[in-house]
A = this chain, B = another copy of it.
Amino acid sequence: MTDRLHLGVIGAGRIGRVHAANLALGIPRATPLVVADVDASAARTCAREVGIPEAVHEVRAVIENATVDAVVICSPTDTHLAIIEAAAEAGKHVFCEKPIASTLEEIDRALVATSRAGVKLQVGFNRRFDASYRRIREAVERGQIGEPHLLHLVSRDPAPPPLDYVARSGGIFFDMTVHDFDMARFLVGAEVEEVFTMAAVRVDPAIGEAGDVDTAVVVLRFENGVIGTIDNSRRAVYGYDQRAEVFGSGGSAASGNQYPNTVVLSTAEAVGRDLPLNFFMERYAESYRAEMAAFVDAVLDDAPVPVGGHDGRMSVVIGMAARRSYDEGRPVRLDEVAEIVPPVW
């Protein structure tokens, strides 16, 4: 393998274009060779925008391209498993947007496929690469706050997604809180054992009619004794509210929101500032670049990926337990909903 990684991007939608741009322009060790989309014109637009030499409309053309070392999967979730299996068989490393697949069974098949083929599988939990979350993790790792005791995550979206998205995604615990489940595991550095959910429909009755909730608190018990809370809403009118705190025997590390500027305006009415950033792609822009750079590094240096298949699986398992807790009105242990396997992947 050379000192540059050659990649194919599969899916030229919103997130695919972000990854394509970062690979083409922001990561020196990466060279994207081809972008694929069933909509050939979307692929061509993406390729032209960022200077990728080839655009195709069949995934096969990427998988069969012998100069491609790794694929970045940004296509719809229901296509993930087949692409992962094909890529693994072709010996290509895989970066896959979350979730790996819609069911645990499919996720496990993806993990087996990549494991057997000896290719790397990184899952797209980009928030782990955000500077503020990383700083909290660093405080925990360096012992700056002692032994962690409590975790609190606030994760509120500026507005609910379209109703049909909610229907497809499996609901709030799988399309939104799933990020928080992963963040909780990342910040605490331990596995979750049990969850309890209290949730409601407060933002939009149509979400309830679709069988989902839009306002939720999930309490997590970790194997190391930490107790965590996740505070979710589908709609924070003031913007994208993304905060975290880990509290421990030696203190606390807490992050705040990000703003478009630092200006404080003081008038006869109030002392205030502009609203926080309210679009996840703006709030987390740098983290998308950093996660992809980390993937490229892991492959080129043959190092472990920072967010692997096990992480992708666990966040879904926690989501399943959170949903069951809500349905049954009781705390649910993770081993009630899935076999808990060690993180061999």
Contacts and interface: CB of A to CB of B under 8 A. Distances in A.
A270 B258 CA distance: 14
Contacts of A275: 266, 268-271
A270 B266 contact: no
A21 B149 CA distance: 39
Contact of A274 (B203, B270, B331): B270
Contacts of A135: 260-261, 263, 274
Interface stretch (A94-102, A165-173, A193-201): A193-201
Interface stretch (A64-72, A116-124, A225-233): A225-233
Contacts of A235: 249
Nearest to A134: B261
A253 interface: yes
Interface stretch (A12-20, A78-86, A214-222, A309-317): A214-222
B229 A247 contact: no
Contacts of A237: 146, 249-251, 267-268
A146 B221 CA distance: 32
Contacts of A267: 144-145, 237-238, 250-251
Copies in the complex: 4
Contact of A263 (B156, B215, B254): B254
Which size bracket describes the interface of A in this complex?
35 or more
A135 to B, nearest CB: 4
Contact of A217 (B229, B253, B262): B229
A139 interface: yes
A134 to B, nearest CB: 8
A332 to B, nearest CB: 11
B202 A149 contact: yes
A145 B75 CA distance: 39
Contacts of A266: 236, 238-239, 241, 251-254, 275
A132 interface: yes
A217 B215 contact: no
A265 B233 contact: no
A206 interface: no
A55 B50 CA distance: 21
Nearest to A271: B273
Contact of A251 (B26, B253, B268): B268
The 8 closest A-B pairs by CB, nearest first: A272-B272, A251-B267, A238-B266, A270-B272, A237-B268, A256-B262, A135-B263, A132-B261
Given A145-B265, A198-B221, A272-B272, 15 more contacts: A139-B263, A144-B265, A147-B202, A150-B233, A196-B331, A215-B227, A219-B229, A236-B247, A238-B271, A250-B267, A251-B266, A255-B261, A256-B262, A270-B274, A270-B275
27 contacts: A132-B261, A132-B262, A149-B202, A149-B215, A149-B233, A150-B217, A150-B233, A196-B196, A196-B198, A196-B331, A198-B227, A203-B249, A219-B219, A229-B231, A231-B247, A236-B266, A237-B249, A237-B250, A251-B265, A251-B266, A251-B267, A258-B262, A269-B275, A270-B274, A271-B274, A272-B272, A330-B331
